[in-house]
Amino acid sequence: MKMDQKATATLLELAAKCLLSNEPSAIHALEELPRDLFVPLFIAAFLGRHMKVLKEMVKVWPFHCLHIGTLNTEETCYEILEAMIDGLQILPAQNSSTWGPKLRILDLRQDPDCETTCSEVTTTLPFCFQSCVYSQQSILKIEEAQQNVSCLKIINSESEPHSAWEPVELLVDLFISDTLRTKQFISFLQSKVEQNFGTLHLCCRGLKIDTISADKSILQFLDLGCIDHLEMDQADLSEITSFLAQMIHLNSLSLSDIPFKSCKGINFRTFLIWLGKLKNLQEFSLFSVCLKNQLHKLLRVLPPELDTLYLPYCGLSNRDITALSQSSQATHLMLLNLSDNQIFSEVYEPFQILLEKVSGTLKLLELNNCLMTDSVLSAVLPALSHCSHLRVFSFASNPISMPMLTSLLQHLTSLMELKHVIYPVPIHCYEHWDFQGRLDQQKLAEVQAQLKVMLKTAQREDMKWTTSPQ
């Protein structure tokens, strides 16, 4: 009888755990370890926080790349990352052709779409899906340059080796803040880069800066062109603009709490110019940034194919929603968050038009705390029912009645991809509609029970209805 793959995997896991119960013998065994056992042993050592074993495994890793990938550390564990970086070796070029350590790309980012190694994809050329394609210090660019040099040398009949060391890439996501541990990790990285200057490319892909407190000296060690995700908090708009000018390959930009006074005049115009140069941008998020009657200016420069737009607490007006409904982005958006904006205080038509436009692509819609009433919701319900790809709809903290909620449920059960609805506690459960009054838990329990029965009757128990995001 053939042993299935799952049973084999479990056996490997058991063998790895058993081996790790004695660290010195596990390290000793690495010399003889078959190639196929490296990945399961690495996963077990990572999850079990066996730092010494991890460091030695990185030293003798027999594949081109090593990714943390799906392994979840829950909280950032700098000890593990440092142990792995410590194991990273810069090897003489001659070493690469035969057997022995082959690691060239160490990827310490958590990435749900990434396998531990890409090496098995192709048997001829070492290949990694995550290798850097932008920096002049990347393996790709260095090897290109070396090849050009060696071509020249062949022409000139010289035969000395073209380079002493194999270039290596270290991929990280960085959070720059003023906590002691973060600072230690950053200076550890800096010294590693300095020791291996010209051979080790520190490739930062995700950068989060706590602007108020951060010591930004690390940035001079980074090629800012490699960064694809940037998150900044409480930064002045002119400072953000100076970063954007260098981070031209950004995929995702997230800014929060930008001081109001910095969002005007020449500052704002320069920001728009650089924002318009981010041709790869797919996700754009502003949180608590005053945009009232200005959204059209942003939409004019943002790429039309933008798929994610988050604008909570941005003081959006009806004019802004009209601009959004007329924008080229409206027919592409997949994730839209307009929470905490009073966009329904006067008229709902602009939003209704917007919803019709996005209905072909929208997967997530958030409208929490938008002062949305029964009459608004019933008016936009037909457009909402057309959003056939919708997976998550969140509209908590809006003054909605129970009859409206049940009518909504009946409409939404036809959306087969919709799996999670976060709904407001209906107004009759409060002493006052403004959510300030006491919440009657008994009434809320009755609401929950009634919705549950309705979902069962509609055979949509796969759809989760909750009053909070969990």
Least distance in Å: CB of 69 to Zn ion? 9
Question: Which CB sits closer to Zn ion, 145 or 371?
Answer: 145
Question: Which CB sits closer to Zn ion, 62 or 399?
Answer: 62
> Which token pair is 22?
């004695």
Q: Which amino acid is at 81?
A: L
Least distance in Å: CB of 133 to Zn ion? 8
The sign one gets for the Cα dihedral 45, 49, 55, 61 is positive
Interface stretch with Zn ion, choices 93-101, 117-125, 311-319, 419-427 (CB under 5 A): 117-125
The DSSP H or E segment spanning 319 is helix 318-326
The DSSP H or E segment spanning 171 is strand 168-176
CA 167 to CA 89: how far, in whole Å?
10
Indicate whether 193 belongs to the interface with Zn ion (CB under 5 A). no
CA 139 to CA 156: how far, in whole Å?
25
Indicate whether 418 belongs to the interface with Zn ion (CB under 5 A). no
Question: Which CB sits closer to Zn ion, 138 or 285?
Answer: 138
Indicate whether 118 belongs to the interface with Zn ion (CB under 5 A). yes
- For Zn ion, which residue of 135, 369, 394, 397 counts as binding (CB under 5 A)? 135
Least distance in Å: CB of 132 to Zn ion? 3
CA 227 to CA 204: how far, in whole Å?
6
Question: Which CB sits closer to Zn ion, 201 or 363?
Answer: 201
Q: Look at residues 60, 39, 36, 30 and name the one whose alpha carbon lies nearest to residue 116.
A: 39
The DSSP H or E segment spanning 338 is none
Question: Which CB sits closer to Zn ion, 245 or 273?
Answer: 245
Question: Which CB sits closer to Zn ion, 135 or 294?
Answer: 135
- Name the percent of the chain in helix, strand, coil, to the closest 5: 45, 15, 45
Interface stretch with Zn ion, choices 116-124, 176-184, 187-195, 458-466 (CB under 5 A): 116-124
| Residue count, binding to Zn ion (CB under 5 A) | 7
Whether 55 and 82 have beta carbons less than 8 Å apart is answered as: no
Least distance in Å: CB of 89 to Zn ion? 18
Question: Which CB sits closer to Zn ion, 205 or 357?
Answer: 205
Q: Look at residues 162, 171, 163 and name the one whose alpha carbon lies nearest to residue 200.
A: 171
Least distance in Å: CB of 128 to Zn ion? 3
Indicate whether 132 belongs to the interface with Zn ion (CB under 5 A). yes
Question: At CA 416, angle to CA 414 and CA 418, rounded to 5?
Answer: 100
Indicate whether 230 belongs to the interface with Zn ion (CB under 5 A). no
Indicate whether 226 belongs to the interface with Zn ion (CB under 5 A). yes
Least distance in Å: CB of 134 to Zn ion? 6
Interface stretch with Zn ion, choices 1-9, 38-46, 223-231, 426-434 (CB under 5 A): 223-231
Question: At CA 408, angle to CA 405 and CA 414, rounded to 5?
Answer: 145
Least distance in Å: CB of 44 to Zn ion? 20
* Residues within window 195-214 making contact with Zn ion, judged by CB under 5 A: 203
Question: Which CB sits closer to Zn ion, 249 or 420?
Answer: 249
- For Zn ion, which residue of 45, 65, 314, 370 counts as binding (CB under 5 A)? 65
- For Zn ion, which residue of 128, 244, 302, 338 counts as binding (CB under 5 A)? 128
Per-residue burial over 186-222, b if 16 or more Cβ lie within 10 Å, else e, is beebeebbeebeebbbbbbbbbbbbbeebeeebbeeb
Least distance in Å: CB of 135 to Zn ion? 4
Question: Which CB sits closer to Zn ion, 128 or 455?
Answer: 128
Question: Which CB sits closer to Zn ion, 104 or 357?
Answer: 104
Which DSSP state fits 265? Answer: H
The sign one gets for the Cα dihedral 339, 341, 345, 347 is negative
CA 166 to CA 92: how far, in whole Å?
6
Least distance in Å: CB of 26 to Zn ion? 24
Whether 307 and 334 have beta carbons less than 8 Å apart is answered as: yes
The sign one gets for the Cα dihedral 264, 265, 269, 274 is negative
Determine the 3-state secondary structure of 270 from DSSP.
helix
Question: Which CB sits closer to Zn ion, 146 or 466?
Answer: 146
Indicate whether 84 belongs to the interface with Zn ion (CB under 5 A). no
Interface stretch with Zn ion, choices 10-18, 135-143, 146-154, 192-200 (CB under 5 A): 135-143
Least distance in Å: CB of 460 to Zn ion? 40
Least distance in Å: CB of 244 to Zn ion? 18
Contact residues: Zn ion, CB under 5 A:
65, 118, 128, 132, 135, 203, 226
